[in-house]
Amino acid sequence: MDTLTYDAVVVGAGPGGYPCAIRLGQLGVKTLCIERENWGGVCLNVGCIPSKALITAGRKYEEARHNFDEMGIVLGGAPTLDMGKLQAWKGSIVKRLTGGVSTLLKANKVDQLVGEAKAIDPHTLEVTKPDGTVVRVQAKHVVLATGSRPIEIPGFSFKDEPVMDSTKALALAEVPRRLVVIGGGYIGLELGQMLNKVGAEVTVVEAQDSLLPGFDPEVTKLVARACKKSGIRVVLQAKALGWEQAEDGVVVRIQTAAGEERLAADKILVTVGRRPNAEPWASALGLQVERGQIVVDKQLRTSVPGVYAIGDVASGVMLAHKATHDGEVVAEVIAGHTAFNDARTVPAVVFTDPEIATAGLQEHEAAAKGYTLKVGRFPWVANGRALTQIETDGFVKVILDAADDRVLGVTIAGPHASDLISEAALAVEMDAEALDIGLTIHPHPTLGEAVMEAAKAALGEAIHIVNK
């Protein structure tokens, strides 16, 4: 058996693993990156990127059906969707980005190996390549960036043709006539709304008493209202029991407070969360695990010297940008630099309609921590740029500590929330005060003005709304 020797080995080439390997290469550390399936990981191949491509297409399709006429743009007839062309376009984006990952690794002198890795000891791995041959790899430092996978629930096997995880949903060859989504979190709502926009009849089944559990109640009500307006049925406090084949598609059985109900469908999308890929590594190496994730310190070190964990498989929120930050921090640590994962906030973005983004504490979270609050809220209906885009649902909310007007958090629901939240994340990270945002001149007419106005509104100084 051949043995390869490196200073560092990164297992997984997703949004945590490949940036970690690139940074290690930049820092002069002899590095190998191992990937068993797709360079770029779930995010680039069957997650963040392809889902946003389809969501964008869904929004543009809806604009063509509704907004164009209001603007005076007259089409020759109702728009139609060519799902084959849409999937080909999505695939071209994925191919371009994943190819870029491999190029960047090579440019930074990082070796690449395709295969399934397993741990022999904290410094030794065995990698089974696609042709069945096995290579032994030894390294001073091993970084686990093995990601996560969709959770399967009893009675709904992803092996069954009508039952989809997010990966299968992103590869649909045609739009299902009827779709039941089990799980009203961000993945289910993003994909459910997208398919609804292009013609699917959608029902969302959620076990808890609201959509998007954990988000600001004002935001969840806004999304629920948008679902109702678009014809999406939402069933809350309901449990999915199972499904059975019917003459016309399938029937999904759910348990509600009123009793058992049967939902007709053609496809079933199960999105109840993701499970970290921690088990084989934890058992082989004796790593400490809590709630399914490998426990790490602020330098991403595990309980076993020389072994690190980053991204979904490690402690913390399961978001791609958190994984990237983890990877860059651990690269600095391995290279002997002083670095810590001490970020004040990891922004969260949900690409629903309307979009949602948060940085720092949400209002209900800050109140639960005992802060006395000042809250500034600016509605999109008062923003000129939002009006010109016919996107006026939602608001920007800035939450301050009343003791010193520091920005505790920002919640945005509405157009381009995902783009606007970075200013808010910077404000939280630098411990800014409301006036740091409010006295910064924002260009006009832009959506960004709403962040400035919301910060001023928290102080009672907003110009374009009546201050409370």
pLDDT digits 0-9 by tens, 420-460: 999 999 999 999 999 999 999 999 999 999 999 999 999 99
Q: Which residues of 420-457 are buried (b: 16+ CB within 10 A; e: fewer)?
A: bbebbbbbbeeebbbebbbeeeeeeebbbbbbbbbbbb
pTM higher than 0.85, yes or no? Answer: yes
Write the CATH number of the domain with boundaries 348-458. 3.30.390.30
Tokens standing for 414?
């509405």
Q: CA 239, 243, 245: angle at the middle one, nearest 5?
A: 160
C-alpha 101/C-alpha 272 separation (Å) is 30
Residues 294-308, mean pLDDT to the nearest whole number: 98
C-alpha 353/C-alpha 393 separation (Å) is 9
pLDDT digits (tens, 9 = 90+) for 89-138: 999 999 999 999 999 999 999 999 999 999 999 999 999 999 999 999 99
Which of the two residues, 163 and 68, has the higher pLDDT score?
Answer: 163
- Amino acid 202: pLDDT: 98
- Given the DSSP bridges, would you call strands 356-360 and 406-413 parallel, antiparallel or unpaired? antiparallel
> Which stretches within 27-175 are classed as H helix?
41-46, 48-65, 67-71, 83-107, 166-169
pLDDT over 90 at 463, yes or no: yes
Give the model's confidence band at 140: pLDDT under 50 very low, under 70 low, under 90 confident, else very high. very high
- Amino acid 67: pLDDT: 85
Domains 3-149+275-334 and 163-270 share a fold: yes
pLDDT digits (tens, 9 = 90+) for 343-390: 999 999 999 999 999 999 999 999 999 999 999 999 999 999 999 999
pLDDT over 90 at 209, yes or no: yes
Distance between first and last Cα of the chain: 73
**Percentage of the residues of the chain whose pLDDT score is greater than 70:** 100
C-alpha 259/C-alpha 413 separation (Å) is 34
- Amino acid 191: pLDDT: 98
Residues 386-395, mean pLDDT to the nearest whole number: 97
**Residue type (1 letter), 346:** V
240 contacts: CB under 8 Å, gap ≥ 6: 153, 155, 156, 182, 205, 252, 253, 254, 270
- Amino acid 468: pLDDT: 84
Give the model's confidence band at 293: pLDDT under 50 very low, under 70 low, under 90 confident, else very high. very high
- Amino acid 75: pLDDT: 86
- Amino acid 1: pLDDT: 80
Write the CATH number of the domain with boundaries 3-149+275-334. 3.50.50.60
Which contacts of 460-465 are long-range, i.e. CB under 8 A and separated by 24 or more positions?
A: 462/376, 462/378, 464/378, 464/382, 464/383, 465/378, 465/379, 465/382
C-alpha 417/C-alpha 456 separation (Å) is 19
- Amino acid 339: pLDDT: 97
Residue 163 and residue 250 in contact, taking contact as beta carbons nearer than 8 Å? no
pLDDT over 90 at 288, yes or no: yes
pLDDT over 90 at 69, yes or no: no
> Which stretches within 374-416 are classed as H helix?
384-388
Catalytic sites, residue numbers: 444
- Amino acid 112: pLDDT: 98
- Amino acid 77: pLDDT: 83
Q: In the chain, what are the helix, strand and coil shares in percent, each to the nearest 5?
A: 35, 30, 40
C-alpha 110/C-alpha 282 separation (Å) is 26
Q: Please state the domain extents for the chain.
A: 3-149+275-334, 163-270, 348-458
Residues paired with residue 276 on neighbouring β-strands, in sequence order: 148
Rg of the chain over CA atoms, in angstroms? 24
- Amino acid 252: pLDDT: 98
Residues 82-91, mean pLDDT to the nearest whole number: 97
Residues 278-287, mean pLDDT to the nearest whole number: 98
Name which CATH class applies to 163-270: alpha beta
Q: Supply the mean pLDDT for the chain.
A: 97
**Percentage of the residues of the chain whose pLDDT score is greater than 90:** 97
